[in-house]
Structure 1
Amino acid sequence: MTTQITATDLRAFTEDWLDWYRAQEERLAGPHGFLAITGLHWLDDRPRRFPDAPGAWSTAADGVTVALDDGEELVVEGSPVRGEHHFGVIPERGGVDAVWGDAVIEVAKRGGNDIVRPRHPDAPLRAAFAGTPAYAPHPRWVSKGRYVAFDEPRPTTVGAAVEGLEHVYDAPGRIEFELDGRALSLTAFPGHGAGRLMVLFTDSTSGVTTYAANRALTVDAPAADGSVVVDFNRAVNLPCAYTDLATCPLPPAENRLPVAIEAGQKIPRERGGA
């Protein structure tokens, strides 16, 4: 982008970024957002009860089952359930939210494992949340790039915030761009929404001013000519930056950028950030 930025341009750019930032924080700190998680429970074939969810939970080849005691009830897809309830096979990175009073019991699959992850609005982490530190936004961290599709999606295995866990993504291509005159590229994974892309990355600020393990960036669907906009001002922390009760993926090795991206979200206060 041009370096000729007027005060009016910068003010408008900042106001637009602030709208995005506030929406991001609202989602994170919502009543059933990631800050509301109180436990990460890994299921197996032995029915087990947990202190922050009703019922005894187990999983088998036909999927997840909960056995509710008398007086216990969940609401699944708008319908109350009692006794034994089968959630069926949960797809990888999929999940079902079961309502329990003012809490939500997330039933999901991560790294091939079925999990139960209760979310309570009064969770201490959510109650104490005071916002995420971030760099002041600036257009210098916006780059026009090019999306290069692979001949076919490449299965890409990455590590996770949970030791021993792995995630596999079908990477559809890479994003090539320049920053301060330096040619860089990032392997892209499918994002949320038609054609959108998601990149996981680290850079020279990781572990210094930004979260050490990862940050994520959403890129809108490429134009017909493959052009994309890479805006590092909107680099976000994944849930593992705030809580150990998350299974976030780590970036592939080629996404460790050899530059300092002094933009986007910083180390959360929950992890000792300023």
Structure 2
Amino acid sequence: MSTHAQQQAAREWERWHEERTATVSAPYGPLSLTGTHWLADYPEGRIPAVPGRWREEGGALVLDAAPEDGLTVDGKPFAGEVRLGADRGPVDASRAAHEGRRLVVLSREGLWAVRVFDPESPARRAFRAIEATPYEPRWAVPGTFRPYPDARTVRVENADGVERGLGLAGEIAFELDGAGHTLQVAVEPDGSLWAVFADATSGNSSYRFRFLRPAAPDAEGAVTVDFNRALLPPCAFADHFICPFPPPGNTLPVAVAAGERQRADG
């Protein structure tokens, strides 16, 4: 990589880092998550942190609210019953809200939950920065995506201690300092890749695991593996996320001293 290309890549990384910091610290970013409340834990339908009565019915959550609950649905004061599916868009576009808090409906493996995002969360108030290593060319290497003949699902522990399925569609092969490595990856709807990985820095100078999101490979499977853009998972910002741990084989034996490393509070 030429000096000019390195300088441009470093500038692009700086912009990426600034955008990441803004996204994380936004009013309804991951720092604002104050609870993930599984309906199975509240068979009577009353979640202490959330107004209204909630129940599962026919593949959806039904919310029964009284006027005094102070809830809104689709931006309007709500009383009565409404069926809510899982929210899949931005948090601030969730259908239900309460006094500035967004109530996000979540479904995982047939279980339903209500998540609460509060811009006044202690974590958001305490946040100062994402500690990250400045761009270094050596951490951006060419790789090859090798799809599996058939997609597979492995059971992995999640950050909340529950084992869940993690879908994997192939692996990327690459070299670091002359040694070959592979990471198992999922393929996102837009064709980009997603890996959950750990390395020799995990739990020490960096968070216990991180995400990597390479762009979609080309027709020959070529892909850039850029650890400068290793991401902290959402559970690094709030304890109530259920991020998957790395699957077997995704712990690299080298120290990847690159990308996002830790959350820093002031």
Q: TM-score, structure 2 length as denominator? A: 0.89
Deviations 1:241-260 (A, max 9, x none): 12211111111011011111
| Structure 1 partner of 2:240 | 245
The match for 1:162 among 160, 163, 168 is 160
| Structure 1 partner of 2:197 | 201
| Structure 2 partner of 1:146 | 144
In 2 relative to 1, CA 148–94 (structure 1 residues): closer, same or farther, beyond 3 Å? Answer: farther
2:40 aligned with 1:41, yes or no?
no
Displacement after TM superposition at 1:184 (Å): 0.4
In 2 relative to 1, CA 184–167 (structure 1 residues): closer, same or farther, beyond 3 Å? Answer: same
Query: What SS is found at the alignment partner of 1:269?
Result: strand
2:84 aligned with 1:87, yes or no?
yes
| Structure 2 partner of 1:221 | 216
The answer to whether the 8 A contact 1:17-1:137 is kept is yes
How many pairs are equivalent?
262
| Structure 2 partner of 1:180 | 177
Q: Distance in 2 between matches of 1:91 and 1:123?
A: 21
Q: Distance in 2 between matches of 1:86 and 1:112?
A: 16
Deviations 1:208-251 (A, max 9, x none): 11111x20010111101110000000001111112211111111
Deviations 1:24-45 (A, max 9, x none): 1211111111111122211123
Question: What are the within-5 Å matches in structure 2 for residues 38-117 of structure 1?
Answer: 38-44=34-40, 45-51=43-49, 53-60=50-57, 62-77=59-74, 81-88=78-85, 90=86, 97=94, 98-117=96-115
The answer to whether the 8 A contact 2:34-2:238 is kept is no
In 2 relative to 1, CA 215–112 (structure 1 residues): closer, same or farther, beyond 3 Å? Answer: farther
Q: Distance in 1 between matches of 2:130 and 2:100?
A: 25
Displacement after TM superposition at 1:143 (Å): 0.8
Displacement after TM superposition at 1:137 (Å): 1.2
Displacement after TM superposition at 1:13 (Å): 2.0
Displacement after TM superposition at 1:78 (Å): 5.1
Q: Distance in 1 between matches of 2:71 and 2:131?
A: 37
RMSD: 2.5
Question: What are the within-5 Å matches in structure 2 for residues 255-274 of structure 1?
Answer: 255-269=250-264
Displacement after TM superposition at 1:108 (Å): 0.4
The answer to whether the 8 A contact 1:13-1:138 is kept is no
In 2 relative to 1, CA 116–174 (structure 1 residues): closer, same or farther, beyond 3 Å? Answer: same
Q: Distance in 2 between matches of 1:230 and 1:153?
A: 21
Unaligned runs of 5+ residues in structure 1 are none
Q: Which deviates more, 151-160 or 173-182?
A: 151-160
The answer to whether the 8 A contact 2:141-2:225 is kept is yes
The answer to whether the 8 A contact 1:92-1:109 is kept is no
Percent identical among aligned pairs is: 33
Displacement after TM superposition at 1:114 (Å): 1.2
Query: What SS is found at the alignment partner of 2:54?
Result: strand
In 2 relative to 1, CA 16–26 (structure 1 residues): closer, same or farther, beyond 3 Å? Answer: same
Deviations 1:135-184 (A, max 9, x none): 12111000100010111111222210011x22323311110111111100
2:41 aligned with 1:22, yes or no?
no
Q: Distance in 2 between matches of 1:112 and 1:232?
A: 34
The answer to whether the 8 A contact 2:67-2:78 is kept is no
Query: What SS is found at the alignment partner of 1:134?
Result: strand
The answer to whether the 8 A contact 1:110-1:247 is kept is no
The match for 2:226 among 224, 231, 235 is 231
Q: Distance in 2 between matches of 1:93 and 1:149?
A: 28
Unaligned runs of 5+ residues in structure 2 are none
Q: Which deviates more, 111-120 or 256-265?
A: 111-120
In 2 relative to 1, CA 189–114 (structure 1 residues): closer, same or farther, beyond 3 Å? Answer: same
In 2 relative to 1, CA 243–77 (structure 1 residues): closer, same or farther, beyond 3 Å? Answer: same
